Amino acid sequence: MPLLIQENYLQCQPHLSTINKQKRTLSDIEHLNLISKAADSICLGDVCSQMIFSKNESWSLLPYQ
């Protein structure tokens, strides 16, 4: 995971699209849930990356990185 993403994903301001193409601002709870999912994904990607490039070289994990 590039350090640029790891440092800056918390500053992202997501919006949800609606049918009439207006952006709906997320509630604080929805925003925290999305931040939590992003942190989990970054963590999983880092673990996969470490396993791929370790001594065991688990290249089968490459699609999940």
- pLDDT by residue (tens digit) across 22-41? 667 778 888 888 888 888 88
Please state whether the predicted TM-score (pTM) of the whole model is above 0.85.
no
If you count them, how many residues does the chain have?
A: 65
- The more confident residue out of 21 and 60 is 60
Query: What is the C-alpha to C-alpha distance for residues 41 and 65, in angstroms, rounded to an integer?
Result: 9
- The more confident residue out of 52 and 33 is 33
Supply the pLDDT for residue 57. 79
- The more confident residue out of 2 and 22 is 22
Contacts 24+ apart (CB under 8 A), 29-36: 35/9, 35/10
Does residue 58 carry a pLDDT above 70?
A: yes
